[in-house]
Structure 1
Amino acid sequence: MKNRILYILLLTLSTNILSQEYYAFPDSLTIWSVNTDKYTVNGDTIINDQAYKKYYYSSGDSVFSYKNAAYFAAVREDNQKRIWRIERDAFEEKLLYDFSKSIGDTIVVHPMSANYFGRDSYHVTIVRVDSIIVHNSYRKRYTIGNVKGQTFVPKYWIEGIGSTRGLIDSGISQQLRGNIGYPELLCFTTEQYTYHVSSNKDCFRPITLPRRAENFIIKKELDELLSLIE
């Protein structure tokens, strides 16, 4: 009897996830707050006969400022729930997200932050799919792991929002950024509401260094110092 009830509950949950409304990426008046960086979408452009939205970036301001902002990428979403991007001064589009995939699927994505680590792409796997409430509505949330399904750093994709590691960080963030820490999407702000992705309810906060990583860096610096003495 208990197994039957559990089966019905799981079936109901799966049906709700499959049937819920899909949320596309916003096309205007939205701000992603990633630590001390801000991203927004404003305006249109045509590249290779395709229509894109223009994305802007600013850093160091608690409130997004167009005065200090710079155009950094063109982004579009196709009818298969895939998000494509073209960096400024480039002409080749690359896959940023794919919200059409299911548990166990592996995707090759091209986060813009990959360039920071001398890479072009990451292979990621959908480990789990569930739902979360964003402004009174359910959205799908994808748990992202590496090709083995491992999740070294907690990371999710949320429909219509992107990665919890930041708009441009769709790949796995296993490395520290500049030995500082992991980027974190703090807030997603529209005209109607602000969704606090971070539990700290703060939309402007420097990247913090995880204690484990801090110890690793201290040890690395100590080893380098000892090697110089030797």
Structure 2
Amino acid sequence: MKTFVFKLVLGIVISFSAFNLNAQNYEYIPLVKPGVQLWTDDFAYYTPDGIIYILHRYALTEEDTIIENETYKKLYLFTGNEFDSLTAQCIGGLRENEQKQVFYKGGSAGYTTPSGLICDFSLSVGDTFIIGEYQFPYTVEVKSIDTINYGGALRRVFIIGTTGALNMQIAAWVEGIGSVEGLLYNMYTKLMGMDFLGRNRCYEHNGILLYHDYPEEIDDCFTPVLSLNDIEEEDISINIYPNPTSKEVNISSESFINSIEVFNSLGQRIYQENIKSKEKTIDISSFSKGIFIIGVNTDKGYIRKKLIKD
């Protein structure tokens, strides 16, 4: 037995145990399957002003949708704690063929992901394929395939990397779960040197949590995992004022706010409220003095801000 380690973005490391495929009862688990599947993904990118951090949640249902004469399962984007197809945004769909190839069709959903093939679980070690539909396509290859016992089942893990001397890992696909960089993370952005970071924080199937990339420290899928010092973004779409403050803080957004949550310096959620408004005032007079994180779920994504209570 050997230990297989994924080094995820944002400095997070998790380990899996790899097994001999022939020594266990292995059965392929498709990515597109019956039931409701939820992915909670972190998406971040660097700007001259700091890190812009967004949390996206995706839901794949059993609902069919016809796109360009192909049948897909509807894929939704939502920002709240609970998925509701009536309030979530349908952004397209996923389909998987008999060759274990998974296709996405729809909008970019923040990841600049083009429509087309997003995972191919039929590949073998050494197989190459081209990513990017632009002027500078890249050839990448399957560097290794191991079998892990995870989420109560054996799953194969495909490590995708560059060819030639560069030998850079750009993605890891897990059967039945998808990419550990995020369901719709675009590998092409990493190869082009763009400062995009992606991470699949959680995966749930029919209400059962099957994948969590930070289980030792955090027991939910929403608590911020970066330290307070990592919160540097200056996203002008969310305003928090006055800051510092001792009594009340006003939160305003260019888009509708779905929910607001506040975390203390230990990462514990101490306040949460679901709303549907562009403005909200919170009474923080009972909070102790210090630094807090305000997480704002909007129709455009999840934004975090520092708040100082004096």
Same fold at TM > 0.5: yes
> Which of 119, 123, 130 is the equivalent residue of 1:108?
130
How many angstroms apart in 1 are the aligned matches of 2:137 and 2:225? Answer: 23
The amino acid of 1:190's aligned partner reads H
Alignment partner of 1:184: what SS?
strand
Q: Deviations over 1:105-152 (max 9, x none)?
A: 112346xxx9xxx88965432111001222221000111212337235
Q: Return closer, same or farther for 1:58/1:44 CA change in 2, 3 Å cut-off.
A: same
1:84 to 103, 106, 121: 103
Aligned to 1:7: none
Question: Alignment partner for residue 197 of structure 1, among 179, 200, 212?
Answer: 212
Q: 1:34 aligns with which of 16, 37, 41?
A: 41
The alignment status of 1:49 with 2:58, answered yes or no, reads: no
Matched with 2:201 is 186
CA RMSD of aligned residues (A): 3.4
Tell me, yes or no, if the aligned pair for 1:27 and 1:53 is still in contact at 8 Å.
no
Cα distance in 1 between the residues matched to 2:38 and 2:135: 27
Aligned to 2:146: 130
What do residues 152-191 of structure 1 show as CA deviations (whole Å, max 9, x unaligned)? 55x31011111000001152563322xxxx2110111012
Corresponding residue to 2:168 among 148, 151, 155: 151
- Cα deviation, 1:68-96, whole Å, max 9, x if unaligned, reads 5211122111111111122159xx96211
What TM-score does the superposition give when structure 1 sets the normalisation length?
0.67
Q: Structure 1 residues 53, 167: CA separation in 2 closer, same or farther (over 3 Å shift)?
A: same
Contact 1:162 1:170 in 2 (8 A): no
For 2:300, the equivalent position in structure 1 comes to none
Q: 2:116 — aligned with what?
A: 94
Identify unmatched segments of 5+ residues in structure 2.
Answer: 1-18, 43-54, 109-113, 233-310
Where does structure 1 differ by over 6 angstroms across 4 or more consecutive aligned residues?
Answer: 118-121
Q: Which secondary structure does the structure 2 equivalent of 1:15 belong to?
A: helix
Rounded Cα–Cα distance in structure 2 between residues aligned with 1:119 and 1:169: 20
C-alpha contact 1:106 1:126 (8 A) present in aligned 2: yes
Contact 1:76/1:84, CA 8 A, preserved across alignment: yes
Assess if the C-alpha contact under 8 Å between 2:104 and 2:118 holds in 1: yes
What percent of counterpart residues are identical? 25
Contact 2:21-2:147 at 8 Å conserved across structures: no
Question: 1:205 Cα deviation (Å)?
Answer: 4.9
Q: Which runs of 5+ in 1 are unaligned?
A: 1-11, 215-230
> Conserved in 2, the CA contact under 8 Å of 1:74 and 1:88?
no
Distance 1:29 1:14, change over 3 A: closer
Change (3 A) 1:196 1:94: closer
**Cα distance between partner residues in 1 of 2:97 and 2:120:** 10
One-letter code of the match for 1:98?
A: D
Q: Give SS of 2:124's match.
A: coil
